[in-house]
Copies of this chain bind each other. A is one copy, B any other.
Amino acid sequence: MGPELRQYENFLLSETGFGKSFHQGDSMSRRSVSLKVLAAHLNLAVGTVSRALNNYADISPATRARVRQAADELGYRPNQTARRLSMGTPETIGYIMPLHSASIAQPFIAQLLQGLGEALGKRQWDLLVAHAASPKDELAQIDKIVRSGRVGGLVISRPLKNDPRIRLMQDLKFPFVVHGRTASSDNYAWYDVDGEAAFVVAVDHLVSLGHSRIAFVGAPLQYQFAQDRLNGYRKAVATNGLTIDADLIQIAEFTDDGGEIATNILLDMAMPPTAIVCVSDTMAFGALAAIRAHGLTPGEDVSVIGYDGLKFGEHANPPLTTMAQPQAHAGRRLGDMLLAIIDGDDPSDHQELQRAHLLRRKTDGPLHLAKVQDDVSSREELQ
């Protein structure tokens, strides 16, 4: 071990109170000393050492101190696998990565895992990350994870309207929490942002700017979040006394390209919308591209509001107005909930609905009909 590393460690150790040399004398072997070795070293029974380390009240303070010190000196770390088998708890929770997460969920996965880790860290639990190759695979995956005893609870993201994963976990009576909700969300634990309310806010805002032809660019409705947001759009359109035009609702693939395609369709209509709300920032980026490609200016000729509040939206062209989610704490909250449920809490006592807020940047503006109409008439002239 080089001097530099030792410095680092000493620094570290003095900060964490581990003692001065946690792996001195043993630094050549990766396997940590076992309880048996530690007990032999101390001339005590393994049970006694175990109880001392676990702060049992029936151990004399002197012994406890001796044991602690020897454990530090020898760098003893309990073997978690053995500990868990013995105690009958995996002390681990699992996160099932959403399918296609690389493209769909990228923006929030790192943050979610970090938050989950924080919640678990307080109790020294581990986080297992699993992913399925296909939807078919996913149920089998969950079944296996649950039954193999590797985790004490599961968290899943992006539920479908009627999600078989949720029903499977309910059937198995296995602790779980959901990042999002399904259509009937009464009897399990979830953390979600109110997408319906968010789209009411977005549409109301556009109406207040004078818009009345407002379109919705959405994702496949098998996802509950896509349905929620559409519901909010519909509700607000009705509330504001506008007529719902089915052509103004465009569902596409949940990507920037999907957003672009949907927006192209909208702009090529005889009566194009003057404002568009998009189910995600990513789709909104595609919408901006389509608008620019039509020679129109987002925020002037056509307003756009996204959903997510991605930091990156600041750099879009122009900077994207969006409904920002307070998702920094989602992972933390989900982790705390799951732990509480594993401890016996009633899942339905753990349901948390957050609100998104309007983050105005540069793509929302007052109604200007002229340019959009020009675009239509010039197309007509060409025909």
Contacts and interface: CB of A to CB of B under 8 A. Distances in A.
25 contacts: A5-B168, A5-B171, A12-B139, A23-B171, A23-B172, A27-B172, A30-B172, A30-B173, A77-B148, A79-B148, A79-B149, A80-B149, A81-B85, A81-B150, A82-B85, A102-B111, A102-B114, A106-B109, A117-B130, A118-B133, A285-B315, A289-B314, A312-B312, A315-B316, A316-B317
Interface string A119-130: 001000011111
Contact of A131 (B23, B114, B328): B114
A18 B141 CA distance: 12
A126 B143 contact: no
A110 B114 contact: no
A381 interface: no
Contacts of A129: 95, 113, 117, 127-129
Chain A interface residue number, banded: 35 or more
Interface string A7-18: 011011001101
A289 B315 contact: yes
B81 A136 contact: no
Interface string A147-164: 111100000000000101
Contact of A114 (B101, B147, B168): B101
Nearest to A284: B315
A139 B4 CA distance: 13
A60 interface: no
A4 B105 CA distance: 27
Contacts of A109: 106, 109-110, 113
